[in-house]
């Protein structure tokens, strides 16, 4: 298992045995069946029972650790706060940081803490606590990816309520990074005390037992009124078991349960289906640095050979949308003007011929079964590209082997990302030449230049224009074939109201949920 990758994935989301969510948020605030009803007023009280995927063998209590369980991430997100959180418009809004301001050169950012913020033991939150927490986060194995461009020595307090971050380079989007697992602990918290360390979040830990937990309302939370008396989190090892528990009335919410369960629940009038568009990207990665797919014409041919509509219909059971080979579809700056790439087998064959691609060989497409539909997408892709003359053998790998041996190295493999609200996120993490998780080994000076220019552009409208250029380069030449976007799906009982509908980290923020019973 590659911890760095998983940690980034969890930088605002969750991953279970069969379904993964992730990071930032900021997608459309819509759902197939809204859990909130018109003219209803929130009612205080009650306990919300939430099912979440996880494995007992992978449990962690460390807010800055690798949360390989969705159940862990849910619990941590309710007990601890980050500096900022996902929003709809804009897609980064205040939380523990009430406001922030950049220097003219966009390198120095000052975050002012929210008034009245306290830890669960009543201790006021100070800038020193935040600085200590961010430095602790930066010292994790994936710290550089979690806070890119921010060295530990460049994180400091300024008075009691201001935290200063100095970036190595101009970064107009730095507040967005502080949504990513910047959970704040009390200064000096020992690792041995993490299981009982007080947070600042809307709920306090009552008890924790083998991945299951009971959280009770924090009546002194600075962030506003919390309606539920408590949240009980129950760990499940499979989406099916979780869905069955929901259908049997044993839990109130089956979190990120997937399309198959949604199809079953469609027949139940007493079950709500909460649908989060643009929740997860499932691209196929083609290595650009070397190997059989290094020629841009070959990559273009494969993009033209795929039938995206069929992929969405069959792999996602219709719970998704066709994508256009650009990651970050939920970003307000997403380049909707770039024409949708469509299937063109004749053109694909022509490009393969021009590239001198050897169609007598069989090429391996490596995949894993970490999430529902991933291996199925590989199989259908292989069937489709054969019509263009490309023979592909699908090879399924055990999860740990896949992330250790294939990810970042393979010529052709599947991957997935729940962080989908930001073009910049993917550019910085996976596509600029020196990115730590450059999945395709892609190096493009023009792309790098556009990225740096965008990050150094203060005016949002001007930055959006540069990001358009950046996305055009990605569309034309990157190593990604992004055929579709999967919806995130929760199932909820009839009494549940106001579940969050933002993707990634946004969807685990249950402080506004309430029960109509």
- pTM given for the model: 0.82
Q: What is the 3-state secondary structure (H, E, C) of 136-161?
A: HHHCCCCHHHHCCCCCHHHEEECCCC
Strand partners, 395: 366
Residues of the chain with pLDDT under 70: 1-37, 419
The predicted pLDDT at position 291 comes to 97
- Written as six digits, the tokens of 356 are 């001198």
Determine contact, residues 359/391, Cβ cutoff 8 Å.
yes
CA–CA gap between residue 425 and residue 270 (Å, rounded):
38
| Cα dihedral sign, 77-78-80-86 | positive
Q: Specify the DSSP element, H or E, that contains 352.
A: helix 345-355
Model pLDDT for residues 285-339, shown as the tens digit of each residue: 999 999 999 999 999 999 999 999 999 999 998 899 999 999 998 888 899 999 9
Report helix, strand or coil for 18.
Answer: coil
* Torsion angle defined by CA atoms of residues 301, 303, 306 and 310, in that order, rounded to the nearest 10 degrees: -160
Please report the beta strands in 210-361, taking only residues with DSSP state E, as ranges in sequence order.
Answer: 212-217, 230-236, 253-254, 271-281, 284-286, 320-322
d(CA 108, CA 498): 37
Chain-centre distance for alpha carbon 89: 18
**What SS3 class is residue 484?**
strand
Tell me if 84 sits within 8 A of 93, measured CB to CB.
Answer: yes
pLDDT at residue 69, as a whole number: 82
Q: Specify whether the CB–CB gap between 179 and 85 falls below 8 A.
A: yes
Q: What angle separates helix 374-385 from helix 308-315, to the nearest 10 degrees?
A: 150
- Can you tell me the distance from the alpha carbon of 164 to that of 498, in angstroms, rounded to the nearest whole number? 35
DSSP string, 33-79: S-SS-TT-------EEEEEEE--GGG----TTS---SHHHHHHHHHH
pLDDT tens, 172-202? 989 987 887 799 999 999 999 999 999 999 9
Burial annotation 241-273 (CB, 10 A radius, 16+ → b, else e): ebbbbbbeeebbbbbbbbbbbbebbeeeeebbb
Task: Tell me the two tokens of residue 506.
Answer: 């946004």
Q: Are 16 and 69 in contact (CB under 8 A)?
A: yes
- Non-local (6+) Cβ contacts of 4 within 8 A are 141, 142, 145, 436, 437
pLDDT at 3: 37
Report angle CA 319, 363, 290 to the nearest 5 degrees.
100
φ/ψ (deg, to 5) at 431: -130, -30
Which tokens sit at 332? 């307000």
């Amino acid at each position: 298992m590659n911890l760095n990758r998983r940690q980034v994935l969890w930088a605002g989301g969750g991953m279970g045995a069969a379904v993964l969510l992730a990071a930032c948020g900021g997608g459309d605030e819509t759902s197939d069946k809204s859990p909130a009803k018109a003219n209803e007023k929130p009612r205080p009280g009650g306990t919300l029972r939430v099912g979440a995927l996880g494995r007992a063998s992978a449990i962690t209590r460390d807010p800055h650790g690798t949360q390989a369980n969705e159940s862990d991430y849910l619990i941590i997100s309710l007990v601890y706060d980050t500096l900022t959180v996902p929003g709809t418009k804009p897609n980064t809004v205040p939380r523990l940081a009430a406001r922030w301001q950049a220097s003219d050169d966009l390198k120095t950012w000052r975050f002012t803490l929210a008034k009245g913020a306290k830890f669960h033991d009543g201790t006021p939150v100070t800038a020193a606590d935040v600085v200590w927490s961010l430095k602790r986060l930066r010292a994790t194995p994936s710290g550089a990816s979690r806070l890119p461009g921010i060295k530990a020595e460049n994180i400091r307090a300024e008075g009691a309520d201001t935290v200063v971050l100095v970036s190595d380079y101009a970064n107009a989007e730095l507040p967005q990074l502080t949504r990513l697992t910047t959970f704040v602990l009390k200064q000096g918290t020992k690792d041995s005390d993490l299981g009982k360390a007080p947070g600042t979040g809307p709920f306090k830990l009552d008890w924790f037992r083998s991945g299951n937990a009971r959280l009770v309302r924090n009546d002194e939370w600075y962030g506003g009124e919390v309606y539920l008396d408590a949240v009980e989190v129950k760990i499940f090892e499979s989406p099916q078991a979780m869905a069955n528990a929901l259908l049997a009335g044993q839990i109130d919410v089956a979190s990120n349960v997937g399309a198959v369960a949604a199809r079953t629940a469609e027949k139940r009038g007493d079950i709500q289906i909460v649908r989060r568009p643009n929740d997860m990207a499932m691209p196929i990665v083609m290595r650009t640095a070397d190997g059989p797919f290094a020629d841009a014409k070959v990559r273009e041919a494969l993009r033209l050979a795929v039938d995206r509509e069929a992929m969405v219909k069959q792999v996602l059971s219709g719970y998704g949308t066709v994508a256009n080979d650009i990651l970050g579809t939920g970003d307000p700056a997403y380049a909707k003007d770039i024409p949708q790439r469509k299937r063109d087998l004749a053109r694909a064959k022509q490009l393969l011929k021009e590239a001198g691609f050897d169609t007598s060989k069989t090429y391996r497409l490596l995949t894993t079964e970490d999430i529902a539909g991933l291996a199925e997408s590989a199989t259908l892709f292989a069937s489709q590209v054969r019509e263009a003359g490309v023979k592909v053998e699908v090879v399924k790998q055990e999860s740990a082997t896949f992330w250790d041996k294939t990810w970042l190295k393979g010529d052709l493999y599947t991957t997935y990302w729940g962080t989908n609200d930001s073009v910049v996120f993917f550019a910085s993490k996976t596509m600029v030449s020196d990115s730590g998780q450059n999945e395709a080994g892609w190096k493009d000076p023009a792309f790098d230049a556009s990225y740096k220019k965008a990050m150094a552009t203060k005016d949002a409208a001007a930055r959006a224009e540069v990001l358009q250029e950046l996305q055009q380069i990605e569309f034309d030449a990157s190593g990604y074939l992004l055929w579709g976007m999967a919806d995130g799906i929760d199932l909820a009982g009839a009494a549940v109201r106001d579940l969050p509908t933002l993707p990634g980290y946004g969807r685990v923020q249950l402080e506004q949920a309430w029960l109509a019973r």
